[in-house]
């Protein structure tokens, strides 16, 4: 508990819209949607939003400060697949 209560601890807030079947629900009458998204608050930091893609993958919208994103970019590349 000391770590959680320390002043140097930052948290990330995660939310997921995966399995909401947005690609099946959204129909404007022009055929199947190519890309579906939701508004993401870009003025807030430390938020990760997960969404399904039309090809069956998962898209992650990550809002971090410039300093944090520089570090996060290197870390995520270590775990990403090509």
Looking at the structure of the chain, the number of domains it has is: 1
pLDDT at 2: 57
Bridge partners (DSSP) of residue 16 are: 50
For residues 46 and 10, is the Cβ–Cβ distance under 8 A?
yes
More confident residue, 38 or 55: 55
Q: Is the pLDDT of residue 67 over 80?
A: yes
Q: Is the pLDDT of residue 73 over 60?
A: yes
Residue ranges making up the domain that contains 71: 10-26+45-82
pLDDT at 37: 86
Mean pLDDT of 34-48: 82
- Whether 3 maps to a domain, the answer reads no
pLDDT at 17: 93
- Whether 36 maps to a domain, the answer reads no
- Whether 1 maps to a domain, the answer reads no
Enter the pTM of the model: 0.71
Burial class (CB in 10 A: 0-12, 13-18, 19+), 46: middle
Residues 6+ apart with CB under 8 A from 63: 40, 41, 42, 44, 45, 46, 47, 48
- Which stretches does DSSP call E strand in 1-82? 13-16, 47-52, 58-63
């Amino acid at each position: 508990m000391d770590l959680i209560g320390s002043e140097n601890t930052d948290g990330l807030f995660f939310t997921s819209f995966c399995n909401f079947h947005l690609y099946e629900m959204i129909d404007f009458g022009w055929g199947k949607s190519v890309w579906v998204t939701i508004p993401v608050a870009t003025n807030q930091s430390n938020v990760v939003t997960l969404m399904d893609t039309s090809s069956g993958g998962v898209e992650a919208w990550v809002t971090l400060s410039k300093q944090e994103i520089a570090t996060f970019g290197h870390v995520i590349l270590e775990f990403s697949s090509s």
